[in-house]
Chains A and B, each alone.
Chain A
Amino acid sequence: MNRFKLAYNAGVIVLAVLAATIACALVLWAIGANPTATYITIFTGPFQDMFGVTEIFVRAVPLILVALGIAISFRSGIINIGAEGQILMGILAATATALALPSLPKYLLLPLVLLAGAVGGGIWAGIAGILRAKLGVNEILSTVMLNYIAAQFYTFLLRGPMIDPGELETGSGTPQSLRLPDAAWLSRLVPGTRLHTGLLLALVLAVGVYLLLWHTTWGYRMRAAGAEQKAARYAGIHVERSLVTAMVLAGAFAGLAGAVEVAGVHHRAIENISSGYGFAGIVVALFGALHPVGIVPAAAFFGLLLVGADMTQRSAGVPANMILVLQGVIILVIVSAKMYLNNAYAQEHVARFIERLRAKRPPEPAKTGGEA
């Protein structure tokens, strides 16, 4: 009964969306904001002008990159929560490279800067990967800890060794690095906005990740190790190596996201550059079903949410932390709904339940849905 299956899956999704919307509305209501008005601002506000629209994609670029990496790691059976720290390490490596080699021409410097970002993030994630593979350290805990460590290291460098000398002269002491040389900037796609060529890079890499995971032996090994470790090991796949590879790749993508962000948008390392992309990336990856085809639109959707949430902060006084609430609720709802989507077993239960309701209806119409 294919139509019933469709209706069942649609029902699960509708319930999930409803649960998420209501949960967030409750929090909005608690702070005295009008939930409907807030939702309308979030979803329509960014479309009011060209700048708002491009800004959605400016946010989507790092989200795509981070989420691609997270998809690789989740598919390979290692959970990377450390994208936030990997982004910071990517930013540091990219900035340091750009500042160390200011005289290189653009066609050399820009790729080097991006590569440095990827390497920085990859190494940072590799720590957690190796600890997991060699010592069995829970990668969720280690990546969370590496996030906190990276955040401190980042502030330390920006306040100390990497601080813009001009900040020390004027005495304002804002923790930020020198401005990157022009040759390290990603060009703007639309003049007058912040949209940069990083978007094209992200889209190309999305195709790359698809090819890697589904059309290479390497990707097959990683997915096999993620799907069922014992079977993969029995088939001769080096599971530990695949875990480390997946983690390093995930970190490289997050680091690249940081490098792209610094080369495309801010042009110098400043504090709060990442503003939670590492965590939002997890939500985007899950929302996009851990597949590049899903991740790109999911990232655009979350770009919209982020821009919209900024607007509500300004117009309706809804604190920016609200985006965390939204993300948390969405994660909980997705992981729950996932267990029911395409679940023939649960579907059977629902079908039987409906049958029972139907059978009951004629004799006592008042008591439908009373039990079971």
Chain B
Amino acid sequence: MNPGDMLHNILSLGVPFSVALLLASLGEMFNQRAGVFNLGCEGIMCMGAFLAFLPPYFLKATVLGPYGNLIGFAIAMVAGAVLGLLFALVTVTFRASQGIAGIGLQMLGWGVAGTLFRHFIGGVTGVEGMAAWPIPGLSKLPFLGGILFNHNPMVYLSFLMVPASWYLLYKTPWGLKVRAVGTHPRAADSMGINVNRVRYQALMLGGAMAGLGGAYLSLCQAKMFADDLVAGRGFIAVALVYFGRWSPLGILGGALLFSLAQSLQLAIQVGGIKFPYEFAVMLPYVLVILVLSLARKARMRGPSSLGIPYNREMRY
């Protein structure tokens, strides 16, 4: 294979790989901008991946069959929002320690998805998933066409989420509230913003997006479900928020970096270069640690009240 084709392959595989990370990470960005560190993202993605898998699997032969995927995405988003609500209850209303609560939510989501999966489905079965949807005209472009415009609709949608998130965060009153609540909740409170309500909203939005990211994994990327399908992508998504310095564009860059590393690794394996499989799987996790080590200055720009529960009745 000549280098040009290889590059084309790596890029056109890498772009759709980034979607799950991108969606979850954008959601996490809203959480963190509102001051809540949601490590439960991983658990929400597991639930989203599992629940989205159910409708196409069970409705295959019914009238609703063609809409299975859509119903799946919708259910995953609702479930994600519900889990976000649960997390908000624990960390915003009860003001529990966010890091540990996040691990609890991760175990809960992972455990529930695995338990229900083993009971209702059992073994590995695939779904048809979402077909590619080439954009007429653009997909015929010489090099870029295959890379950017020959994917399933979720890819386009999630890339559109990047400017949409940017607009929501920086150009709408709600986005301003989110940023205020994450930077200086007391000041926001004194201006009449209901801090807890905004945090609840942000967590529900973040949860819905993480659920959608999980749904993408099972319906579009793997086209099946397994206990370990998410495999730490939720945690990687959290790390990407640091890497992307809490901005949608930075997160897009981070998500692409990770997905390209993944498709590069696949290409190396397919290319027949001897390399223990386990080390290839390790790669993204090592990359996260490297990325976090290099992003040390980024924390200065982060939301200053990240991780601190707000109690309006306390004086400090």
**A residues bordering B, Cβ < 8 Å?**
27, 30-32, 79, 81, 131, 135-138, 140-142, 144-146, 148-149, 152-153, 155-156, 159-160, 279, 282, 286, 317-319, 321-332, 335-336, 338-340, 345
Pairs across A and B, CB under 8 Å, 18 listed = A31-B119, A135-B292, A140-B39, A140-B103, A142-B292, A145-B235, A145-B289, A148-B231, A148-B282, A152-B281, A318-B115, A321-B114, A322-B115, A324-B110, A328-B109, A331-B103, A335-B101, A336-B101
The number of chain B residues touching the other chain, given as a range, is 35 or more
Residues of B285-306 at the interface with A, using a CB-CB cut-off of 8 Å, are 285-286, 288-289, 292-293, 296, 299
Given A282-B100, A322-B115, A324-B114, 12 additional A-B pairs, CB 8 A: A27-B112, A131-B289, A142-B292, A145-B235, A145-B285, A145-B289, A160-B276, A319-B118, A321-B118, A328-B107, A335-B90, A335-B104
Q: Are A27 and B115 in contact (CB under 8 A)?
A: yes
A156 to B277: give the CA distance in the assembly, Å: 8
A344 to chain B, nearest CB (A): 13
The complex places the Cα of A135 from the Cα of B119 at a distance, in Å, of 44
**10 closest residue pairs by CB, A with B:** A324-B111, A328-B108, A331-B104, A328-B107, A321-B114, A325-B111, A156-B278, A335-B96, A319-B118, A31-B119
On whether the beta carbons of A146 and B103 are closer than 8 Å, the reply is: no
Q: Measured between alpha carbons, how far is A335 from B94 in the docked complex, in Å?
A: 9
Known: A30-B116, A141-B292, A324-B114. A282 touches B103 (CB 8 A): yes
Residue in contact with A137 in the complex, picked from B111, B278, B285, B296, CB distance below 8 Å: B296
Asked whether, in the complex, the Cβ of A339 is within 8 Å of the Cβ of B107, the reply is: no
A31 to B115, CA, bound (A): 8
| Residue from B106, B231, B289, B296 with most neighbouring chain A CB atoms (10 Å) | B289
Q: Which residues of A contact B119 (CB under 8 A)?
A: 31-32, 317, 319
Q: B134 at interface (Cβ–Cβ under 8 A)?
A: no
Asked if A149 and B104 sit within 8 Å, CB to CB, the answer is no
Question: Which one of B103, B114, B227, B288 lies within 8 Å of A81 (CB-CB)?
Answer: B103
CA distance A323 to B107 in the complex (A): 9
- Write the chain A residue with the least CB distance to B39: A140
Q: Could you say which residues of chain B place their CB within 8 Å of the CB of A328? A: 43, 104-111
Beta-carbon contact of A135 and B296 below 8 Å: yes
Please tell me if the beta carbons of A339 and B278 are within 8 angstroms of each other in the complex: no
Within 8 A of A (CB), among B168-222: none
A79 with B288, Cβ < 8 A, contacts A32-B119, A141-B238 known: no
Closest beta carbon of chain A to B140's beta carbon, Å: 40
* Pairwise interchain contact B108-A336, C-beta atoms closer than 8 A: no
Q: Across the interface, name the chain B residue whose C-beta is closest to A148.
A: B285
A141, B292: Cα distance in complex, Å = 9
Residues on B facing A (Cβ under 8 Å): 39, 43, 86, 90, 94-97, 99-112, 114-116, 118-120, 227, 231-232, 235, 238-239, 242, 276, 278-279, 281-282, 285-286, 288-289, 292-293, 296, 299, 313
Number of A-B contacts (CB under 8 A): 145
Chain A residues lying within 8 Å of B288, measured Cβ to Cβ, are 141, 145
The distance from the CB of A100 to the nearest CB of chain B, in whole angstroms, is 22
B292 close to A149 (CB less than 8 A): no
User: Are A335 and B111 in touch, CB under 8 angstroms?
Assistant: no
Q: Is the CB of A322 within 8 A of B242?
A: no
Measured between beta carbons, the chain B residues less than 8 angstroms from A279 are 103, 107
Given contacts A27-B115, A328-B107, A332-B105, contact A141 B96 (CB under 8 A): no
Instruction: Tell me, in angstroms, the Cα distance from A138 to B289 when the chains sit together.
Output: 9
Q: Which of B94, B100, B285 is the one whose CB lies under 8 Å from A79? A: B100
Contacts of A282 in B (CB 8 A): 100, 103
CB-defined contacts of B282 to chain A, threshold 8 Å: 148-149, 152-153
Report which residue of A330, A331, A340 has the largest number of chain B beta carbons within 10 angstroms of its beta carbon: A331
User: With A156-B276, A156-B279, A332-B90 in contact, is A321–B232 under 8 Å at CB?
Assistant: no
Give min CB distance, B119 to chain A, whole Å: 4
Q: Are B279 and A325 in contact (CB under 8 A)?
A: no
A160 vs B275: C-alpha distance in the bound complex, in angstroms?
A: 12
B95 CB contacts on chain A under 8 angstroms: 339
Find chain A residues with CB under 8 A from B285 CB. Answer: 145-146, 148-149
A145-B235, A335-B97, A340-B94 known; A329 vs B115 contact (CB < 8 Å): no
**Distance of A318 Cα from B114 Cα, bound (Å):** 11
- From A148, A318, A319, B232 is in contact (CB under 8 Å) with A148
